[in-house]
Structure 1
């Protein structure tokens, strides 16, 4: 199979071949009956098996948590020391990590251990906060993020903005309907026009949300901070553009890839999202395709939102289409 001409215009030969192969791979990863959200194929069975450990945990909820925590990256490390695909702190892993694959080791970087450990830990937390008023699943997620003590102290999800957003994001992603509809051409046009209006806006690491440009956070892999810069990073821009089109996307590029619908060769159109990385678990950039081999993106610290050729990065991984889904609000 070859990539659509609409994608390959302006691409170097290596990138064009990569698009043809990788978009086909993405399109061949069907969602099973137990999951209504896309997950990397290598983790699908692990999540389906571990996602039935207790009544409060489902495969979708577990997949949504892993999307939020690491974007399915088994090598993820946070600034505060959390590790692996489920972002266990070392002390928590020491207590709750299990040898999920029976190889005699408990390895936080091995998804075969970390995914069932995350489910077991969620079930332990659910039992710990079972007498707290309110939605049991929300309380469990809040405890995973902020600790059981905080949930018991406040009688439910604590009044921490980070924790409240964490619970809301995972619940919305986990509860999305499998009958979601791909973005229409009208929605795609709205997203493109919204992104065009932001051309020239500064890049801000962690910047941008559904309401528009915002100050970001610290720090990028190279230590750049967006805390004093109002603007967008790559996924903040796509999130904002599609929010204006009535589609809610998760926050990070890896999460947006997991929550979108892969586009097959010959079907790519303006408004689709273009992702860069060497695997589904290691996506580092997203842009909004506008046609003719170009996208609108927020490339990196020190730049501004702009038009970029698709071959401006050599590791073009896949093209997806945002999906409008029915979600239950918490």
Structure 2
């Protein structure tokens, strides 16, 4: 599937700006030597293909997925925590692990010709650092990139941090997308999904609830402590999964994984049926709804609030819009 990620709508864009634009326009361990099949900006393709074969644990697709998650391929990205450049190095990490990738005598975190090979080299260093930890080597390496090698060793694998787990899941889903696989939803499928979601308006919210067959009991527990085991209904991604199952498209279970498995949609091309994602970064996607037009969506908002129509600005961290596509890989 070409272009398998939902696009970030403008670096630093606010929810209000994005809403205005929408209303106005209405696995397995990696194999060394693998080719790049993800869609990436042309100017970075050769860099990623070369750096992505630095060591057996890193592939071009994995490196491309990491860069997409970290910065959306923006070489000027800077996080609130101070991470810098296309690979989002913290200054102290860059000081110890940045390399002069283009041989110009300068190690520049803002230069993709330095930052991309530095990111691959750092991944390889981390992979070696956690090689004795049980479990999937790729997952452990990615978790260490996000949370530190010490946390991975302490917990004997991916640590129980929601951000880190979403980070690993999202990057793995991106890197393992099957080229030429699932097709994006057409307008007929989008209409079917919207109709299915409308049919569930008023259904209770259930943390972890909902599947391709409809409402179900959920799991324990939400960040607020609500127990989905006692409620039959949907959470946000359970609703979108159900709606698109009715349209013949199989989506992953979580909002973060659905983000990773959606085609990018720019504001001028958004149409009813597209998925609307909320979070402050690609690794912190926490909510998804189905856009229905005019600045509104259908979503399962939160415990105590049933499936309903909600304005897009109901949350302040609207992050991206993606067009659903079938998940052709095993569940992550």
Instruction: Place the TM-score, normalised by the shorter chain, in its bin.
Output: 0.5 to 0.7
Distance in 2, matches of 1:84 and 1:113, equals: 10
Structure-2 separation of matches of 1:249 and 1:68: 19
Partner of 1:89 in structure 2?
90
**Cα separation, 2, equivalents of 1:198 and 1:99:** 55
* Residue number in structure 1 paired with 2:175: 174
Aligned in 2, Cα 1:175/1:307: closer, same or farther, shift over 3 Å?
Answer: closer
What stretches of structure 2 of length at least 5 have no aligned partner? 1-20, 26-33, 202-206, 211-222, 225-234, 245-249, 278-287, 299-308, 314-320
1:79 shift after superposition: 2.0
Tell me the TM-score normalised to structure 1 length. Answer: 0.58
Structure 2 counterparts to residues 218-237 of structure 1, below 5 A: none
Q: Is structure 2 residue 181 aligned with structure 1 residue 189? A: no
The residue matched to 1:118 in structure 2 has which SS? Answer: helix
| Alignment deviations for residues 94-129 of structure 1 (CA, whole Å, 9 cap, x no partner) | 111112222222221222211111111000000111
Distance 1:36 1:86 in 2: 19
Q: Which runs of 5+ in 1 are unaligned?
A: 1-14, 20-32, 200-208, 213-226, 229-235, 276-285, 299-303, 309-318
For 1:81 and 1:268, locate their aligned partners in 2 and report how far apart those are by CA, in whole Å.
Answer: 32
Q: 1:74 to 1:306 in 2, by over 3 A?
A: same
1:247 is aligned to 2:254: no
**CA distance 1:41–1:289, shift in 2 (3 Å):** farther
**Could you say if the C-alpha distance between residues 157 and 290 of structure 1 is closer, same or farther in structure 2, counting changes exceeding 3 Å?**
closer
Q: Give the Å deviation of 1:36.
A: 3.0
What does residue 155 of structure 2 align with? 154
Deviation at 1:238, TM superposition (A): 9.6
- CA deviation profile, 1:277-314 (whole Å, cap 9, x unmatched): xxxxxxxxx997768xx66469xxxxx94499xxxxxx
Distance 1:103 1:50 in 2: 17
1:77 positional shift: 1.8
Distance 1:149 1:250 in 2: 27
Distance 1:328 1:77 in 2: 34
CA distance in 2, matches of 1:157, 1:272: 32
Describe the shift of the 1:45–1:39 C-alpha distance in structure 2 as closer, same or farther (beyond 3 A).
same
Equivalences for residues 71-90 of structure 1 within 5 A:
71-90=72-91
Structure 1 window deviating more from structure 2 (242-251 vs 145-154): it is 242-251
Specify whether residues 48 and 195 from structure 1 end up closer, same or farther in structure 2 by C-alpha distance, changes over 3 A only: farther
Q: In the TM superposition, what is the alpha-carbon distance from 1:194 to its structure 2 partner? A: 6.5
TM-score using structure 2 length: 0.58
Q: Which residue of 2 aligns with 1:139?
A: 140
Deviation string, structure 1 residues 225-262 (Cα, Å, up to 9, x no partner): xx99xxxxxxx98996467413249968xx95995178
Alignment of 1:28-177 (within 5 A): 34-177=35-178
- Tell me the equivalent position of 2:328: 326
The answer to whether the 8 A contact 1:100-1:114 is kept is yes
- Tell me the residue number matched to 2:284: none
Query: What is the RMSD of the two structures over their aligned residues, measured on CA atoms?
Result: 4.5
Q: Secondary structure at the match of 1:150?
A: helix
Paired residue total = 246
Q: Is the 8 A contact 1:171 1:329 kept in 2?
A: no
User: Could you say if the C-alpha distance between residues 273 and 295 of structure 1 is closer, same or farther in structure 2, counting changes exceeding 3 Å?
Assistant: farther
